[in-house]
Amino acid sequence: MKKIILSFLLLTGLSYFSTAQSFRGPDKSPMDVAYLPDNFAHDRKAGEEAIAKVYYSRPAKSDRVVFGGIVPFGKVWRLGANEAAEFKAFKDLKIGDKSLAAGTYSVFAIPGESEWTIIFNSDLDYWGAFKYDESKDVIRVTVPAKSFPETVEAFSIRFEDLGNNSAVMRLGWDQTMVEVPVSY
């Protein structure tokens, strides 16, 4: 009987440790965050408040053709990899010429060769753009796509404050950049 109990305890212990040690490896496209004002979380000044932030994943170019290749022109894209990007507006904003109420939104793009449609959608917490529902779009704005002289290896989003309560949200990958006007 002692051998049976000892064997049971040993097997239970091994089972516990083998499951307790099983973690997934890191994503190939790590998650990042961009703030308006830029580096808000790191360099916050007294009395300063966040205006917006974006959570997104950063896929790498890795010798691939990005736009018109792994990201087709004319189709809804999740802005990065993994989960759909999320945009949090801490106050009411204008994106381009459209009003966006304070809140959290998924953000997508429809890339084109010369211009992109940027989409803010009320549906949250899902993988990619596979369940994207156009009926839940809050606003859409069209912005020009620009050729960038340097290659941006990992998809990147960064805000630049332009002063006078205006900024741009820059999206860059490979040799393409778009700037989305934001005013607050």
For 25-48, write each residue's pLDDT tens digit: 888 899 999 999 987 766 667 767
pLDDT of residue 19: 54
The per-type count for the chain, helices as H runs and strands as E runs, is: 2, 9
- Cβ partners under 8 Å of residue 51, min gap 6: 36, 37, 89, 90, 91, 93, 167, 182, 184
What's the predicted TM-score (pTM) here?
Answer: 0.84
pLDDT tier at 9, thresholds 50, 70, 90: very low
**Residue closest to 116 by CA, chosen among 95, 100, 130:** 95
pLDDT tier at 24, thresholds 50, 70, 90: confident
Q: Tens of pLDDT along 138-147?
A: 999 999 999 9
**Residue closest to 121 by CA, chosen among 97, 138, 104, 135:** 138
Longest dimension (CA), the chain: 80
Res. 102: pLDDT tops 60: yes
pLDDT of residue 25: 84
Task: Tell me: cis bond preceding 37? Omega within 30 of 0 counts.
Answer: yes
The full set of domain ranges for the chain reads 24-183
Res. 4: pLDDT tops 60: no
Residue 75 has a CB neighbour count (10 Å cut-off) of 11
Q: From CA 170, how far away is CA 67, in angstroms rounded?
A: 16
How are strands ordered across the β-sheet holding 98-100?
31-36, 52-57, 85-89, 103-110, 115-121, 137-163, 166-183, 93-95, 98-100
Tokens of residue 50, six digits: 């966040």
Q: From CA 23, how far away is CA 51, in angstroms rounded?
A: 35
CB 29 within 8 A of CB 59: yes
Q: Tens of pLDDT along 152-163?
A: 999 999 999 999
pLDDT tier at 61, thresholds 50, 70, 90: very high
